[in-house]
A and B are shown apart, each in its own frame.
Chain A
Amino acid sequence: DADVTQTPRNRITKTGKRIMLECSQTKGHDRMYWYRQDPGLGLRLIYYSFDVKDINKGEISDGYSVSRQAQAKFSLSLESAIPNQTALYFCATSDFGTEYSNEQFFGPGTRLTVL
């Protein structure tokens, strides 16, 4: 079974619609992240959460919101989707642990197309 899962895997929607992308993990990690990937731009951080009560904006949070429903669940919402939010979205988790490593483990991704 996958440690980090994302639903849906693919979504096509129209401008102005509200969209929710969901992420679940069974790794027991406290830290969760949402990234978007665009060709030639690498991965950019949207939001991150270090525990259930901690939510932080990343470098490109405008137009997005998140909810950390439980340690294992972190959802990303697009309140009113626009075409330039068309991208590949990844959820990731990490466990700071005793090595103070921020190695992150990624879900399979959600390909979102906004028409």
Chain B
Amino acid sequence: SQKIEQNSEALNIQEGKTATLTCNYTNYSPAYLQWYRQDPGRGPVFLLLIRENEKEKRKERLKVTFDTTLKQSLFHITASQPADSATYLCALDTGANNLFFGTGTRLTVIP
């Protein structure tokens, strides 16, 4: 069956450290993978998109990698800040006009 797993439900890290979130998938062949941030009571906000033929994408303090052999994406936040505390969702698109979302990792950055 198809599955998208995000490494842990919750992750706590110290301010200034790098947070690394994992997204693993099985039985999908995604054309691309997206990462979203969701704050309580709000809808997800798009952060980054990486295509199947790209290895890495960066945007300011964010970095995403995509390994289609391992069927895994890693999402890094460097120099983390308390304002980065949120739930982060990965989403796969197989090109069929709908996204499949993971259940998310709730990140807490401790001052």
Q: Do A and B come from one complex?
A: no
A-to-B contact residues, CB < 8 Å: none
